[in-house]
Structure 1
Amino acid sequence: MRRGGTWSYVIRVTDSKGLSKPRWVGGFPTESAAKRARDEARMAASNGDYVNRSATTVAEYLNEWLAVHALEVKPRTRAGYAHLIENYVAPRIGGKRLQALRATDLSILYRELLESGGKNGRPLSARTVEYVHAVLRKALADAVRNDQLLTSNPAERAKRPRKAHAEPVIMWTATDLVSFLETASQHRLHAFFRLSAYTGARRGELANLRWSDVNLGDAPTIRLRGTVSVIAGTRVEGTTKGGRERTISIDPGTAAVMIEHHRRQQLERELAGGSWTDGDHVFRQELGEPLFPDTPTALMTKLLRQHNAAAAAVGEKPLTVIRLHDLRHLHATLLLKVGVPVHVVANRLGHADPAITLRVYAHVLDDQASQAASVFAQALLDEGRNEANPGSSDSSADRPTP
């Protein structure tokens, strides 16, 4: 049917209550275009796949999706989604009508981002492009399943960017760690780095730690119940990454460092007087305000610079520059290398499933696997010696110290 300068069609569609209602759709430039769209709509309606024609753009839908999605994800996750959409998606395909979006459009978007999507037209990392794809796939899946604006998800058919190979983590030795912690021991936040390296906790988890969750008795532990992130310059506390709290044992040496940290904090409190901000946070700024997680990250870079300058002055080898998060990797790697069970390491790291630990630290376990044959052969040899010399197995000199 012609309406003004365009053509329209009408079909009957059964709603969720089983009632048949007419649906008018217009805006087609020719009668043949309207008929083709009508036939497609009839087919979709008969299959239960019919969606109302909508002028909603990609940007409009994604903004609405973010507003709804904020109810089911953490604030930091939502902020990450918004950043990707605002900086990489909306400027390129935001004005396109959602129902006209094709898989090819997304494939072109990914290619353009890889080539010139970064700052000042530089290439964007493949990892970031993968994140863009993941967000679009999730949003468009909701457009199909929940909002019924699309019959299928174009992101599922788009040519995805090639997965980026994970950069190898540069790892310190145990000696390197001891050397760094010796330098850090002169700083008021020494305990933060000690706890990070000796527990594998995330920086946000330590920034959220309370003294009420620290046990420095005979069997010292810390309980990690939440995390801290920074959104638009504001410090935001929330649940841990996996949503579960966990209790981690700490060694007596680390407990002693924590006791000294508490003593130093009490002195700072006395010096600050009325300027001190009350609270129970373990790690604080000089006047008692809770610590921002970015602070120890920047501090580690500064301490490494100081350490290496001092090492160069006496002709010693400098430490490789690593990130604060790499202390977490170092903790896991050293535990796995000495044979601590994967599920125990996973619990310390807060991984919901040991399979995550297996995947992240596969290279460490591969190294262990390569030595398995030698370990087995040595075990048989030792067992044979014990059978040949029964008395030797009772010798306290050969028995490992508990």
Structure 2
Amino acid sequence: MKVGRVVLNRFLLLLAGLLSLIPAFMAVAGCYVSYLHPSRQPALHWLGHLLPILLMLNLVILLLWCWRRSRWAVVPIVALLNCIPYLTSIFNWPVGKTAPPERKVTVVSYNIRNEISKNILLDGQAFARFIEEQEADIVCLQEFPAGGAVREGLIVELTKLLPYYRIASQKPGSLIVALFSRYPIVEMQPVLFPDESGNISVWADLDLGGVKIRVFNNHLQTTSVNQNRVKPSFNLGSTYEQIVRLKRVVEKNGVIRARQADAVRREIDRSPYPVIVCSDFNTPPSYSYRVIKGRLRDSFRVAGKGYGYSYRYLRKLFRIDFVLYDPSVFRSTNYFSPELEYSDHKPIVATFDFTTDSASSLFLK
């Protein structure tokens, strides 16, 4: 009887160990799925969206195996170690102190959510005070209001601080982005997307007191998770239809977003000037993030502290807003993302120093 119990325990332990391989493999695949274009095997990209849950599951499994003092603990450990690049994209703690900037430029990127009924707290004066407190030089806004008192109030108040501005959209009725600047805007052009999603990206050349830089303001295709959230019910047929619809919409939007990222990347590569990229990617670090980032630096991963998220809903699990920059000219010295209640996103405040030999060589001749 005792021998049979030992055999059963060993079998159950082996079975539990083999089962723990499943979330480990899923987490590792989710960390590296960004190297696969979403048009190929789009279902695999769900692993990227589910990564926070998969990592927490592996952590729980690791604690259980440690409690059992089992060698199977190596499985979640290997999975978590393979996901370090992703973990550093959501949690960061810089080592040492950052030297203060000699020639400071502060950039704010913020999706302010243009649905007036849902952002009635967005008061132009209050938001302008926030921008003034941050000593912002460049402000990139996504989902800028199409009209009404909110739009006019923002323009009036922000131009008191940042006199140069441009507002753009792909077509009437589509999403709008806006750029406000303390420095003259020399030129601004849209990035043409190969779809009719209504999303938009623009670049603008700014003259920073004798140095030209190119700023990108992007609002990529949404996942539509919130709009198609599954509401379980006793009607299994209805629940199943909701799941299928959510899967289809998210995968379709992932492909659209990837094509938009490819278009933005081509424009970055063509830029004759050092770039700063402000973006609502509408996705955590993924194919779109990897492609647009390229050799640019992520201001959070350089100067951010602690747990970084920018989307205030979905349990605050996702960082989908980014400020990227050219490290050959700029140096990130500070990153700040306060919990404002104007929008479902958090603003990103990134401060840079560009007093370098590389920047000096770019002074207008």
TM-score by length of 2: 0.28
TM-score by length of 1: 0.26
Q: Between Structure 1 and Structure 2, which shows a larger proportion of strand residues?
A: 2
Choose between structure 1 and 2 for higher RCO, CA contacts under 8 A separated by at least 6 residues: 2
